[in-house]
Amino acid sequence: MPTFNLKPLVKRFAIAYIVAIILVMVVFFILEKLFGVSANSASGLISIMVAAMDMGQNFYKQENRVPEKSESWRMARAATGVTLLISALLFVAIFIASPGSFANVGLPGLIVVLVIMMLITLLAIRFFASFGAKNYAKALARQKS
């Protein structure tokens, strides 16, 4: 199995994820003010999808190939750890700003939600990182022809 440098990919994922979170928040803030459209919980996946596709494209740029399945899973696990860390920081910030926000859920409920969220995140990152690399490869092939 070929090896690759995971660190720059995860670093880039973290930056892309944070930027995407901010952009999604701004877009939904504007949509809510203009049209009364509010964000739902699925809108959080947009940031993950964008960052994962960017990571896949950067893998292709770094390695000049599409990642193997095991490499995609390795990237997904590392990036899921990043999302867990960022989510934990956001959770703490929300909890400090509004301590009663999670009073109705309780700790067991929060743990269940966290586990489900991380599983969905892992699968989404795995899919969209591969998708990003494949699409980048196709775009390069179209440019060459």
Q: What is the pLDDT of residue 1?
A: 55
Q: Which pair of tokens denotes residue 127? A: 């899919």
How many alpha carbons lie under 13 Å from residue 110 in its C-beta half-sphere? Answer: 12
DSSP letter for each residue of 83-105: HHHHHHHHHHHHHHH-GGGGTTT
Each residue's pLDDT, cut to its tens digit, for the chain (145 residues) gives: 568 999 999 999 999 999 999 999 999 899 889 988 887 777 889 999 999 999 999 999 999 999 999 999 999 999 999 999 998 898 888 878 887 776 677 778 878 888 999 999 999 999 999 999 999 999 999 999 8
Name, in order, each residue with C-beta under 8 angstroms of 141's C-beta and a sequence gap of 6 or more.
Answer: none
The DSSP output letter for 74 is: H
pTM of the model: 0.89
Amino acid at 113: V
